[in-house]
Amino acid sequence: MQAKETLFADLVQGRAQQYQVPLYQRTYSWTEKQLRQLWSDVLEQAELIERGEKANTHFLGSVVLAPSPQNDATFPRWLVVDGQQRLTTLSLALAAIRDHIRDAEPDEAERIDEQYLINKWKTGSDHFRLLPTQADRPQFAAHVRGPLTEQAAGGGVAAAYTYFRRKLVEAADPAAPQDVFRIEQAITSRLTLVAVTAERGDNVHRIFESLNNTGLKLSQADLLRNYLFMKLHTRGEHVYESYWLPLQDSLSNEELEQLMWLQLVLDGDDRVRRQDLYAAQQQRFERGGASEEEIDAYIRELHRRAALFRRLLHPEEEPDAAVRAHLHRLDTWQAQATYPALMLLLDRRERGELDSSDTARAMSYVESFLVRRMICRVPPNNLNRIFQAVPGQLPLDMPVADGLHQLLSADNRFWPDDNELREKIQKAPFYQFGRPPQRKMVLQRLEESYEHPEPVDFAAAQLTIEHVMPQSPGDEWLRMLGEDVTDGENAKDLHSRLQHTLGNLTLTAVNSELSKHPFERKQGLLQGSHLEMNRRIAGTERWGAKEILARADELAGRAAALWPAPLRGVGRAERSRDWHLAHQVLAALPHGTWTSYGDLAAFLGSGAQAVGNHLASTPEVANLYRVLTSEGKVSAGFNWTSEDEEGDVRSLLSAAGVAFTVTGAADPAQRLTADDLALLVAEDDDRTEGADTSQSVPSNQDEETRANRFFRQLTADDSPETVEAVRALLASWEELGGWIGHGAGQVTTSAFLMLGEAGAPGRGIWPLTLYPGGGRGGTAQVVFQYLAAREPFTDRGLRLELLTRLNELEGVDIPEGRLELHPSFRLSLLEKDRNRELLAGTLAWFRDRWERRDAA
């Protein structure tokens, strides 16, 4: 056998040929479930074509072929051993496209026919490129030949053809139009197949049996779990017991898979499909050269987010009442498409970026977006794409709730405004759009808007939607409607136009009793209802067109108040990830430094994998090669995209001043963290934040409290010898004429070694800031970047001399690349007498240089 990857277009077009489905194959059996998945894949590929992306084709499956006994040299015939369902479905989809455009573009319709469906110059059964089993041939032939006959109706082939015709009409909706020729291109050139061709004499039936002997396949979550724990060589057991087992116990396998996909989306990947989860996450880890520490962190983050995800699945676990109410309604709406946005909101709230009130407000925009679109009959087929893009498109320059409001208000999101909402409530057949739970929820919310003092318990009440004017009106109803008709319309026309509108619908527990009764009978039943909207209906004298439209107008006002409107004039939504900032900071990397994918991601507020994807597709970025794995290695996925840019990465790193350890890794001392990167592009005011000497007056009680707090925190984390060494350092600094300022932080404080007038903002200078370690040991930070803006240390030669003097301390080795940053060393190094002496001499030199600044 021979196997090769191919496309439907390559398989069927070209010279006259035929693919025959053998007798032992079952008849065509795809249902709407398989058709719906295929159509979703086709639309996704059409969107990728629209964006100009050539990669990311969709693998459809295999096709196994064998030479037909009827084969001849001038007209090749192949038996379709496996894959007839796929080939039949794609052929029917193309027949539907041909017929969809036949009237408007007959030449294009003929092209599709001749390229994919027929052998133009052949007759009889040889006329068809695909020949299904005998049971399906009459229907298939009728749909390929067209126009359809009555004999072709019914059966799976006809159902599939009809499905595609319906979807093509839906795709042409003005609210979100899809180009039909991009859909054709997606079907013929973006769905890849593996064609396995058997030789004459091979037992093709044996091949068919082996291909269809299916077992229980591993899920995407299973594959990713296996991959992760194969990478956790030393800490796998701890991570599994501490994080994975609780995670696995709290979610089903399907839910866990969905959470893993959501984590990718939250990290900025707005295009990954759930069925590609394993491949996408594996590729990201491989590209970034993920260490055990990073995989451990990934699983911990998954564990943390699982608690948030459970609130989407089980809203009763949400503690805040307002947020819980929104989650309940969205759960009732079956709004799984909104999960990326909802997870982002819960995640940001947990991180302290918005409170519960703003979270509820943001969720009201999500709810309104869904409800208004449903009422206004906007097709829901692009909801997955819209909400999957939210984490990557959310504006970065405004609060989260406001940013989401703006993002969903973009012109290409189709969030109906108040005018459209009012018009559709009055005119659109609400009862025939959306799912039954969605329609019921809209009516429930409208009822709740009356704020009745004794509200109905909707969870316990068995309420259904009722047409006040019945769907099958009697003579009395028609006579009443006849009083409201206008020119060119009769009572039946008026009934047909208004019966399913929101103004004619209500909730009741006595639907069967109301049924087709005249309005007078319904009035009595509705009057006894506990629902305010029903009592209001019962309070009217009649129920005709005027009353229905008046009620629709009232409900429209309530709907506009319940579900916020979009903003006006927002324009189109575009990705807001500020990759320009990434380019800017990489261009600012000092000589002799490198950074990692994770560091750059943390600086951007993105994910390491998203950063890797962006850099891989943007080869013109300056210093691209200086982004390495966390171990200081070149990523296995790194490659130059053209010969002009190709080079030896290690040589380039060496030329940029990056040193290497004996293992071949970039020197970890030269690695810039996310905080370091932030300093590279920070404004001057940001670089000296927390260093205002006006906060550090040494003569009041508060200052004494800060000093006590500093030493209390230092004592809790460092040895008594280190604490005494720090006390000695601060005392020697005061002997040199300096003073000690302490930061005002309540969680972690600090100590500044100050020179200059105490309490005078902008007049002081300091070479070191000391920090308690918070569990990691205290550090002394050398503020080179701050000094670069203070005389006389604007002279780089003086800063370099300071660095050289500090590097004389045993255990201190600050790379020159950090001369523009805030490098640090451990305070525990001061336990050594020689180090204290050297540091005291360096500080005396620093004071002397500063005092002589005017003379210089």
The DSSP bridge partners found for residue 593 are none
- Does residue 14 or residue 45 have the better pLDDT? 45
What single string gives the DSSP state of each residue in 473-496? Answer: --HHHHHHHHTT--TT--HHHHHH
The least confident of 277-286, 357-366, 438-447, 499-508 is: 277-286
The band of 19, judged by pLDDT with boundaries at 50, 70 and 90, is very high
3-state helix, strand, coil in the chain (%, to 5): 55, 10, 35
Q: How far apart are the first and last CA of the chain?
A: 85
Instruction: State what percent of residues in the chain have pLDDT above 90.
Output: 38
Q: Which of 312-321, 487-496, 831-840 has the lowest mean pLDDT?
A: 487-496
**Which is higher by pLDDT, 371 or 490?**
371
Percent of the chain predicted with pLDDT > 70: 87
Lowest mean per-residue pLDDT among 119-128, 421-430, 546-555, 677-686: 677-686
pLDDT value of residue 622:
73
For residue range 698-713, list pLDDT tens digits in order. Answer: 434 444 578 888 898 8
pLDDT at 810 > cutoff 60: yes
Residue 574: both structure tokens together: 């575009």
What's the mean pLDDT in 304-321? 96
Asked if residue 325 lies in contact with residue 448, where contact means CB atoms within 8 angstroms, the answer is: no
pLDDT above 60 for 174: no
The kind and range of the H/E element at 66 are: strand 58-67
Closest CA to 410 of 380, 433, 384, 390: 390
CB 344 within 8 A of CB 363: no
Q: What is the mean pLDDT of residues 210-221?
A: 60
User: Is the pLDDT reported for residue 113 higher than 50?
Assistant: yes
Checking if the pLDDT of 389 tops 80, the result is: yes
pLDDT for residue 53: 74
Would you state the pLDDT for residue 811? 94
DSSP 110-153: HHHIIIIIB-TT--GGGGBSEE--TTTHHHHHHHHH-S--GGG-
Going across the sheet that includes 18-20, the strands are 2-7, 191-197, 58-67, 77-82, 18-20, 130-131
pLDDT of residue 234: 85
Q: Quote the CA–CA distance of 557 and 539 in Å, as a whole number.
A: 20
219-264 pLDDT, tens digit each = 788 888 888 887 888 888 899 889 998 998 899 989 999 999 999 9
Return the number of other C-beta atoms located less than 10 Å from residue 848's C-beta.
Answer: 10
Q: How confident is the model at residue 693 (pLDDT cuts 50, 70, 90)?
A: very low
| Residue 494: pLDDT band with limits 50, 70, 90 | confident
Single-letter amino acid, residue 322: A
Residue 313: how many other CB atoms lie within 10 Å: 17
pLDDT for the residue 613: 80
Q: For each of the domains in the chain, give its residue range(s) and CATH number, in order of start.
A: 2-211 (no CATH), 223-313 (no CATH), 320-416 (no CATH), 420-562 (no CATH), 579-681 (1.10.10.10), 688-851 (no CATH)
Burial degree of 418 (CB within 10 A; 0-12, 13-18, 19+): middle
Structure tokens at 114: 């001749």
**pLDDT at residue 690, rounded to an integer:** 41
Task: Reply yes or no on whether the pLDDT at 523 is more than 80.
Answer: yes
* DSSP 8-class letter at 377: T
What's residue 154's pLDDT? 57
Secondary structure in 3-state letters for 321-374: HHHHHHHHHHHHCCCHHHHHHHHHHHHHHHCCCCCHHHHHHHHHHHHHHHHHHH
pTM listed for this prediction: 0.58
- Report which secondary-structure segment, H or E, holds 18: strand 18-20
| Nearest one of 571, 566, 560 to 424, comparing CA atoms | 560
- Local confidence band at 620 (pLDDT 50, 70, 90 cut-offs): low
pLDDT at 598: 78
- Cα gap 755→739, rounded to integer Å: 7
pLDDT at 200: 67
Q: What distance in Å separates the CA atoms of residue 275 and residue 257, rounded to the nearest whole number?
A: 9
Torsion over CA of 687, 691, 695 and 697, rounded to 10 degrees? -160
pLDDT at 555 over 70: yes
**Can you tell me the distance from the alpha carbon of 343 to that of 556, in angstroms, rounded to the nearest whole number?**
30
Cα angle at 27 between 21 and 28, to 5 degrees? 95
DSSP-derived pairing of the beta strands 594-596 and 671-672: parallel
φ/ψ (deg, to 5) at 465: -85, 130
Average pLDDT, the chain: 84
In this predicted structure, the answer to whether residue 285 has a pLDDT above a threshold of 50 is: yes
The torsion region of residue 266 among left (phi > 0), alpha (psi -120 to 50) and beta comes to alpha
Q: What are the structure tokens assigned to 202, written together?
A: 């091979």
Average pLDDT for 51-63: 80
In Å, how far are 484, 488, 625, 823 from 658, measured between CA atoms?
A: 85, 84, 11, 16
686 band by pLDDT with thresholds 50, 70 and 90: very low
Higher pLDDT: 726 or 26? It is 726
Query: pLDDT tens, 419-476?
Result: 999 999 998 889 878 888 999 999 999 999 998 777 788 877 778 888 999 887 888 8
b (16+ CB within 10 A) / e for 536-574:
ebbebeebbbebbbebbeebbebbbebbbbbbeebeebe
pLDDT value, residue 684: 43
Q: Which residues pair with 82 in a beta bridge?
A: 64
pLDDT in tens, 748-783: 578 999 998 655 444 579 999 998 875 668 899 999
**How does residue 616 score in pLDDT terms, banded at 50, 70 and 90?**
confident
| Amino acid identity at 795 | D
**Strand 627-628's sheet: what is its strand order?**
627-628, 594-596, 671-672
Question: Residue 577 has what pLDDT?
Answer: 43
47 contacts: CB under 8 Å, gap ≥ 6: 385
Q: Which of 54, 75, 59, 77 is nearest to 67 (CA)?
A: 77
pLDDT for position 524: 79
Return the residue matching tokens 């009959």.
377
pLDDT classification of 647: cutoffs 50, 70, 90: low
Q: Which residue has the tokens 């009041």?
A: 700
